Amino acid sequence: MDFLTILQILDSTIRLATPLLLACLAGLFSERAGIFDIGLEGKMLAAAFVSAAIAFVSGSVWIGLLAGIGVSVALSALHGVASITFRGNQLISGVAINFLAAGLTVVIAQDWFQQGGRTPALEGLARFSPIELPFASALADVPIFGPIYAELISGHTLIVYLALLAVPLSWYILFRTRFGLRLRAVGENPGAVDTAGVSVVGLRFAAVAICGMLCGIAGAYLATALQAGFVKDMSAGRGFIALAALIFAKWRPWHALYACLLFGFLQAIALRPNVIEEVIGFKIQIQLLDALPYILTVVILAGFVGKAIPPRAGGEPYVKER
Amino acid sequence: MSDAPAIELKGISKAFGPVQANKDISIRVMPGTIHGIIGENGAGKSTLMSILYGFYKADKGEIFISGNRTEIPNSQAAIAAGIGMVFQHFKLVENFTILENVVLGAEEGALLRPSLAKARAELTRLSEEYELKTDPDALIEEIGVGMQQRVEILKALYRQADILILDEPTGVLTPAEADHLFRILRGLREQGKTIVLITHKLREIMDVTDTVSVMRRGEMTATVKTSETSPEQLAELMVGRKVLLRVDKMPAKPGKTVLEIENLRTTDDKGVERLKGVSLNVRAGEILGIAGVAGNGQSELLEILGGMTQGTGNIRLNGDELDLTGKYSDGQSRRARSIAHVPEDRQSKGLIMDFFAWENMAFGYYNDDAYNKGAFWMDNAALREDTARKMEKFDVRPPNPWLTAKNFSGGNQQKIVVAREIERSPELLLVGQPTRGVDIGAIEFIHKQIVALRDAGKAILLVSVELDEIMSLSDRIAVMFDGHIMGERLPDQTDQRELGLLMAGVDGSDALAVAVGG
Parallel, antiparallel, or unpaired: how do β-strands B273-283 and B83-86 relate? unpaired
Q: B252-302, pLDDT tens digit by residue? A: 999 999 999 999 999 987 788 999 999 999 999 999 999 987 778 999 999
What pLDDT does residue B513 have? 43
Q: Which residue of B has its CA nearest to A179?
A: B110
B205-215: average pLDDT: 93
B98-125: average pLDDT: 94
Q: Which residues 377-436 of B are in CB contact (within 8 Å) with A?
A: none
Q: Does residue B1 carry a pLDDT above 50?
A: no
DSSP state letter for A130: P
**List of residues 6+ apart from B453 with CB closer than 8 A:** B422, B425, B429, B460
**Number of Cβ pairs < 8 A linking chain A and chain B:** 74
Which residues of chain B are within 8 Å of residue A175 when distances are taken between CB atoms?
Answer: 112
What pLDDT does residue A210 have? 98
**Which residue from B92, B110, B115 is facing A192, i.e. has the nearest CB?**
B92
B150-177: average pLDDT: 87
* Chain A touched by B507 (CB under 8 Å): no
Q: What are phi and psi of A74, to 5 degrees?
A: -65, -45
Neighbours of A200 (CB within 10 A): 21
Q: B426-469, pLDDT tens digit by residue? A: 999 999 999 887 877 788 899 999 999 999 999 999 999 888 88
* Cβ pair B113:A176 closer than 8 A: yes
Burial of B12 (0-12, 13-18, 19+ CB in 10 A): buried
More confident residue, B165 or A272: B165
**Which residue from A176, A179, A194 is facing B75, i.e. has the nearest CB?**
A194
A45-49: average pLDDT: 97
* Chain B touched by A191 (CB under 8 Å): yes
B97-115: average pLDDT: 94
* Cβ pair B100:A181 closer than 8 A: yes
Does the CA dihedral B487-B498-B169-B242 come out positive or negative? positive
CA distance B393 to chain A (A): 29
Hey, is B11 helix, strand or coil?
A: strand
Q: Which residue of A has its CA nearest to B152?
A: A192
Q: A171-223, pLDDT tens digit by residue? A: 999 999 999 999 999 999 999 999 999 999 999 999 999 999 999 999 999 99
Please give the share of chain B, as a percent, with pLDDT higher than 70. Answer: 97
Which residues of chain A are within 8 Å of residue B353 when distances are taken between CB atoms?
Answer: none
Mean pLDDT (chain B, rounded): 89
* Cβ pair B93:A189 closer than 8 A: yes
- Residue A42 near residue A101 (C-beta atoms within 8 A): yes
ipTM confidence score: 0.89
Nearest CA-CA partner of B400 in B180, A184, B392, B506: B392
Query: Which pLDDT band, with edges at 50, 70 and 90, does A85 fall under?
Result: very high
- Residue A3 near residue A147 (C-beta atoms within 8 A): yes
CA distance B31 to chain A (A): 24
CA distance A191 to chain B (A): 6
**Which residue from B87, B109, B115 is facing A195, i.e. has the nearest CB?**
B87
- Residue A313 near residue A189 (C-beta atoms within 8 A): yes
Distance between start and end Cα atoms, chain B:
45
How many H helices and E strands in chain A? 14, 0
Does the CA dihedral A287-A120-A16-A139 come out positive or negative? positive
Which residues of chain B are within 8 Å of residue A195 when distances are taken between CB atoms?
Answer: 53, 75, 85, 87, 91
* Cβ pair B105:A182 closer than 8 A: yes
Q: Does residue B216 carry a pLDDT above 50?
A: yes
Q: Please state the three-class secondary structure of B341-375 as a single string.
A: EECCCHHHHHCCCCCEHHHHCCCCCCCCHHHEECC
**List of residues 6+ apart from B32 with CB closer than 8 A:** B1, B6, B189, B192, B193, B194
* Chain B touched by A308 (CB under 8 Å): no
Query: Which pLDDT band, with edges at 50, 70 and 90, does B516 fall under?
Result: very low
Q: Does residue A305 carry a pLDDT above 80?
A: no
**Which residue from B85, B95, B109 is facing A195, i.e. has the nearest CB?**
B85
Q: State the best of B76, B104, B158, B198 to mutate against chain A, taking most chain A CBs within 10 Å.
A: B104
* Chain B touched by A307 (CB under 8 Å): no
Q: Does an H or E element contain A261, and which? A: helix A253-270
* Chain A touched by B101 (CB under 8 Å): yes
* Chain A touched by B160 (CB under 8 Å): no
What pLDDT does residue A321 have? 60
Q: Which residue of B has its CA nearest to A311?
A: B95
What pLDDT does residue B249 have? 87
Amino acid at B289: G
Burial of A116 (0-12, 13-18, 19+ CB in 10 A): exposed
- Residue B154 near residue B135 (C-beta atoms within 8 A): no
B479-503: average pLDDT: 88
Q: Does residue B360 carry a pLDDT above 80?
A: yes
Cα separation, B190 vs B388, whole angstroms? 52
**Which residue from A177, A192, A196 is facing B106, i.e. has the nearest CB?**
A196
Burial of B17 (0-12, 13-18, 19+ CB in 10 A): exposed
Q: Which residues 157-176 of A are in CB contact (within 8 Å) with B?
A: 175-176
* Chain A touched by B115 (CB under 8 Å): yes
* Chain A touched by B46 (CB under 8 Å): yes
B176-198: average pLDDT: 91
Query: Which pLDDT band, with edges at 50, 70 and 90, does A152 fall under?
Result: confident
- Residue B478 near residue B487 (C-beta atoms within 8 A): yes
Hey, is B102 helix, strand or coil?
A: helix
Instruction: Concatenate the DSSP letters of all residues of B285-320 into one string.
Output: TEEEEEE--TTSSHHHHHHHHTTSS--EEEEEETTE
* Cβ pair A197:B76 closer than 8 A: yes
Q: Does an H or E element contain A174, and which? A: helix A158-176
Which residues of chain A are within 8 Å of residue B94 when distances are taken between CB atoms?
Answer: 188-189, 312
* Chain B touched by A201 (CB under 8 Å): no
Which residues of chain A are within 8 Å of residue B85 when distances are taken between CB atoms?
Answer: 195
* Cβ pair A182:B104 closer than 8 A: yes
B198-209: average pLDDT: 88
What pLDDT does residue A138 have? 84
Which residues of chain A are within 8 Å of residue B91 when distances are taken between CB atoms?
Answer: 189, 191-192, 194-196
Hey, is A259 helix, strand or coil?
A: helix
Q: State the best of A195, A203, A319 to mutate against chain B, taking most chain B CBs within 10 Å.
A: A195
Q: Which residue of A has its CA nearest to B51?
A: A322
* Cβ pair B109:A178 closer than 8 A: yes
Q: B41-92, pLDDT tens digit by residue? A: 778 888 899 899 988 889 999 999 999 999 999 899 999 999 999 988 899 9
* Chain B touched by A250 (CB under 8 Å): no
What pLDDT does residue A1 have? 66
Nearest CA-CA partner of B31 in B65, B61, B81: B65
Strand order in the sheet with B476-481: B339-342, B428-432, B459-463, B286-291, B476-481, B484-489
A99-122: average pLDDT: 94
* Cβ pair B112:A182 closer than 8 A: no
* Cβ pair B75:A195 closer than 8 A: yes
What pLDDT does residue B238 have? 85
More confident residue, A298 or B457: B457
Q: Does residue B223 carry a pLDDT above 90?
A: yes
Q: Does an H or E element contain B321, and which? A: strand B320-321
Q: Which residue of A has its CA nearest to B74?
A: A197
CA distance A170 to chain B (A): 14
Cis peptide bond N-terminal to A143, omega within 30: no
More confident residue, B173 or B431: B431
**List of residues 6+ apart from B230 with CB closer than 8 A:** none
β-partners of residue B257 are: B283
DSSP state letter for B215: E
What pLDDT does residue A201 have? 96
* Cβ pair A178:B107 closer than 8 A: yes
Question: Cα dist. B242→B47, B126, B237, B392, B472 in Å?
Answer: 26, 44, 8, 21, 19
Q: Which residue of B has its CA nearest to A310?
A: B95
Q: Does an H or E element contain B334, and which? A: helix B331-336
* Chain A touched by B73 (CB under 8 Å): no
* Chain A touched by B470 (CB under 8 Å): no
The vertex-B291 CA angle with B288 and B292, nearest 5°, equals 150
Distance of alpha carbon B108 from the chain centroid? 38
Which residues of chain A are within 8 Å of residue B87 when distances are taken between CB atoms?
Answer: 191, 195
* Chain B touched by A189 (CB under 8 Å): yes
**Which residue from A175, A193, A197 is facing B79, i.e. has the nearest CB?**
A197
* Cβ pair A185:B96 closer than 8 A: yes
Query: Which pLDDT band, with edges at 50, 70 and 90, does B508 fall under?
Result: low
How many H helices and E strands in chain B? 17, 22
Instruction: Concatenate the DSSP letters of all residues of B23-88 into one string.
Output: EEEEEEE-TT-EEEEEE-TTSSHHHHHHHHTTSS--SEEEEEETTEE----SHHHHHHTTEEEE-S
* Cβ pair A177:B112 closer than 8 A: yes
Question: Cα dist. A69→A18, A211, B32, B213 in Å?
Answer: 16, 10, 57, 58
* Cβ pair A194:B91 closer than 8 A: yes
